[in-house]
Amino acid sequence: MSNDALRATFFAECEELIESLTEGLDAIAQGDRDKETINAIFRAVHSIKGAAGAFGFNDLVAFAHRYETVLDLIRADKLDISAEILRLITRSSDALAELVELTRDTGSASLDPVQDLINDLESHAEAVKAEEPPEPDFVFAPLSVIQIDDPSPTPSGFVIRFQPTAAFYTNGHEPARYFAALAALGTLSVACDTSAIPPLTDIDIDENYLRWTLTLSGDTDADAVKAVFAFAEGLCTLDVSPLADAQEPDTSPEPTDPPASLFGIPLDLPPSGPATAPAITEPTTSPAVPNAAATPAQSAAKAPVKTATTLRIDPDRVDRLINTVGELIINHAVISQKLAACGINNDSEIMAALDDYRYLAREIQEGVMSIRAQPVKSLFQRMGRVVREAGEATAKPVNFISEGESTEIDKTILERLADPLTHMLRNSVDHGIESAEKRQQAGKPAIGSVRLTAAHRSGHVVIEVADDGAGLNRERILAKAIEKGLVPADAKLSEPEIDALLFAPGFSTADSVTNLSGRGVGMDVVKTTITSLGGKVGITSVPGKGSTFTISLPLTLAVLDGMVIGVGSETMVLPLSSVVETVRPSRSDIHEIGPGECVLSVRGTFLPVVDLCQLFGLRPVRAAAADRSYVILDASDTSVAIAVDAIWDQRQVVIKSLEGNYGTVTGIAAATILGDGKIALIIDSEALVGLVAPRRTSRPLVELEA
Amino acid sequence: MSEKETTESARTIEFVSLTAGGQGFCIEITLIREIRRWSQVTALPFAEDSVLGVMNLRGAVIPIVDLAARLGLGATEIGARNIVVVTAIGSKIVGLVVDSVSEILSVNVETIRPNPTLRRDGTGNHVVGLLPVDDVMLRVLDLETLFAKGTEEAA
């Protein structure tokens, strides 16, 4: 493996570690004080530090080390998790994530921006050390556990309770070897508890039902005994206690075994296999089954949360696969078109077989798409950082709540969502949430909250950014829009129309430009990005209660629901998401208002007519506008009527980029391949509307409703 | 001995010779992906005249350019006899429509004459050299220069 590949692995691992770090911190923030949670975050930071050291990322190591020191103190119960400490470790986790990103992108990271944080971390670590001058007392106080394990001065031996898990056997361990190793330490007697063995009919041959109680007498210490079991760690429940304590049942995880169910096996005999023989010799012990079930359950509850195993795949490979599957679907269309041309009946066997082919192809397609799909979790965690930073920068305490983190969305969409979401969240904190005083005056909790949620809704992913702030100030938005010349002074706009002004280019309500937002390049960029991903943005806002931004996105960028139309001699595809309706108007509904300019009246509204043939400079096949069909398209809040020569079909098309080999074409979003192998261009409805109504933003939307 | 061979092969370049707009050209063989017959293309709106449209090349959408028109030699009269030379220009795959493709030439670098008409005004010249073969003169095309401007325009 080359160094580069190793580095890539390191950073991928860092990402995962930071994810589990954030997860742990979230749990702690919600009041979880479980030892395992704290251990998990300590381990995450420690692993980053260790690996970073191996790569010589010294700054990363330096920061992780200080962070780790504080976490270690928390782990050792020397430092309580107060609100202040929680804030410190959360901020440190954000900083660590940023340092990792910086190191990944630039090869090194400067500690200057986090110097304050380092000082804080150090001062907390120092404070704890200073607090405890009588070190021995404190250090050894919590170690009573070890005293039990410690050998008594005149060791008479140990009682070892040993219960392997099923995994112990599947990993190839053999209890007899362990017992032999123990026997080397002293005199060993072995007793096997078979009480947990269920009746033969209920036996799961992979499960372990045996427990051993081993008595080791001789001059040895607990560490040596434990060392024997070192390789079985995590694969068994092990309890080692000095012989004297052995009779006390409280150290044992279970009530002392009834003597009746114990029977000794001489050491020189290999212990019998996990299940069979004892079950037959002791058939009366079956009632102990619940006991056996309880033990693994107990150990499972204590075990750390199982981390999901993941597969790291080069995204290019998946993309190639997606392309090939796209070909497969096109190929299906080709075959069915060819068969239809041969005059084969739709209900013939071959057509039925072809239908199966289509279902299978669709299934493969969905499967491949789901490889690309990723949970929004990592993005949301990053957004949590954004909100905390924004809260700090504006001195507004903000709670970040995220929901639906497991919602999956195409990786490409996910990556391109980061910028718009960052912007929206900053806006929410900066403009949405009021200052603590104002909030208290309004009778709201002093700490504002920003909620980021994701959910699947009818073939789309819906992401919401909601704040509980003051809501949109519509008067100010309108005044600002008039001031900036975006709408005429006498315009009468409805509330949704005013809200939509937020997305107009060059619009910004902030009176002063803050560090965070207010440069006026905000929401329109958000909208453009979302639109380019095939999505939509909407706002709802209740004065005094807060605002909610809703982003609706397609699940994937690889296919699109389209309407296949004929334009001149060409075939084109309109994205179905922007099609409102199709009409075949009578001649009297089309009014010529200038040379080559028409409007179409639909239910009392006049829509500009776009002749695609003319616009794209294609050879027209029909001259008369009247017997053409019209597709009413709604994009960028503007409706236009598109004159087309034919409407062929409505179907899913595979999107093929034009940019790779050619470049962008105005009015064209991409291309697709039709059943006959020909290419059809996919129309970019937003750009198309922009082409025919380029100054739409300076014109109030109400004009359309005259 | 083997050293001499490698230096020898390093000095040899293989070209594909073709005609477009009635003139002889050659393109380095390493830039050519495949050569295929003309098939109907899908017209692109707002494209310059030399861009005839896009074609489906086993699932990839590639632009088809009339090489003669691109070189300013007038539009090729497109028919079934035309040949599409699929080339890799930088990271892009572009199909060039030519009149005919003739042969593969193994040429010693030293036999390529510099183009004496190289402009000094900074604009790239797409004919980087002249190659006399038998009694004809082939122009060595630099496709990157030829398409550098056009693709930016289109983008």
- The last residue of a domain, from among A554, A577, A598: A554
- Contact between A661 and B62 using a beta-carbon 8 Å cutoff: yes
Candidate from B40, B59, B63 with C-beta closest to A323: B59
Are A74 and A196 in the same domain? no
Work out the angle at residue A386's Cα, subtended by the Cα atoms of residues A314 and A550, and round it to the nearest 5 degrees: 85
Q: Specify the pLDDT at position A680.
A: 92
**CB distance from A316 to chain B under 8 Å?**
no
Are A24 and A98 in the same domain? yes
Q: Specify the pLDDT at position A281.
A: 43
Lookup: tokens for A155: 């060791």
Q: How far apart are CA A402 and CA A454, in angstroms?
A: 8
Q: List B113's β-bridge partners, or say none.
A: B130
Q: How far apart are CA A692 and CA A611, in angstroms?
A: 10
- The residue extents of the domains of chain B are 14-154
Q: Specify the pLDDT at position A306.
A: 56
Q: SS3 string of A379-408? A: HHHHHHHHHHHHHHHCCCCEEEEEECCCCE
Beta carbons of A503 and A393 less than 8 angstroms apart: no
Are A570 and A549 in the same domain? no
**CB distance from B45 to chain A under 8 Å?**
yes
Q: How far apart are CA A210 and CA A538, in angstroms?
A: 62
**A83-106 vs A58-75: helix axis angle to the nearest 10?**
160
For residue range B41-54, what is the model confidence (pLDDT) as tens digits?
Answer: 898 888 888 899 99
Residue A260 belongs to a domain: yes
- The last residue of a domain, from among A554, A574, A599: A554
Coil/strand/helix, residue A26 = helix
- Which one has a higher pLDDT value, B25 or A207? B25
Could you tell me which residues come within 8 angstroms of residue A86 by beta carbon, excluding any fewer than 6 positions away? A25, A28, A29
Q: SS3 string of A37-57? A: HHHHHHHHHHHHHHHHHHHCC
- Contact between A660 and B155 using a beta-carbon 8 Å cutoff: no
ipTM value, please give it: 0.80
Q: How far apart are CA B70 and CA B55, in angstroms?
A: 18
Q: Which alpha helices (DSSP H) does A132-245 contain, by range?
A: 135-140, 144-149, 166-170, 175-183, 222-228
DSSP string over A79-92? S---HHHHHHHHHH
Q: Count structural domains, chain A.
A: 5
- Contact between B42 and A678 using a beta-carbon 8 Å cutoff: yes
Are A545 and A656 in the same domain? no
Q: Which domain holds residue A228?
A: 145-302
**CB distance from A653 to chain B under 8 Å?**
no
Residue A380 belongs to a domain: yes
Q: Specify the pLDDT at position A215.
A: 80
CATH for A454: 3.30.565.10
Cα→Cα distances A35→A39, A65, A162, Å: 6, 20, 24
Of A350, A319, A314, nearest to A654 by C-alpha is A319
Provide mean pLDDT across the span B14-35. Answer: 91
Q: Specify the pLDDT at position B96.
A: 93
DSSP annotation of A588 reads G
Low-confidence ranges of chain A (pLDDT < 50): 134-153, 155, 246-303, 511-513, 515-520, 694-706
Q: How far apart are CA A405 and CA A402, in angstroms?
A: 7
Q: Specify the pLDDT at position B118.
A: 60
| Helix and strand totals (H; E) in chain B | 3, 11
Q: Specify the pLDDT at position A617.
A: 81
Fold that domain B14-154 belongs to in CATH: OB fold (Dihydrolipoamide Acetyltransferase, E2P) (2.40.50)
Residue window 136-155, chain B: list those with CB within 8 Å of chain A: 151-155
Are A92 and A163 in the same domain? no
**CB distance from A615 to chain B under 8 Å?**
yes
Which chain B residues touch A662 with a CB distance below 8 Å? 44, 51, 54, 61-63, 92, 94, 151, 154
Give exposure, B83-97, as e/b (b: 16+ Cβ within 10 Å). bbbbbebeebbbbbb
Find, in chain A, the residue whose alpha carbon is nearest to that of B95: A661
Of A496, A495, A655, nearest to A573 by C-alpha is A655
Residue A371 belongs to a domain: no
Are A421 and A500 in the same domain? yes
Residue A295 belongs to a domain: yes
Residue window 75-134, chain B: list those with CB within 8 Å of chain A: 91-94
Q: How far apart are CA A295 and CA A317, in angstroms?
A: 45
Which chain A residues touch B42 with a CB distance below 8 Å? 570, 671, 678-681
Confidence of residue B101 (pLDDT cuts 50, 70, 90): very high
Q: Specify the pLDDT at position A508.
A: 61
**CB distance from A680 to chain B under 8 Å?**
yes
Which chain B residues touch A616 with a CB distance below 8 Å? 43, 45-46
Coil/strand/helix, residue A548 = strand
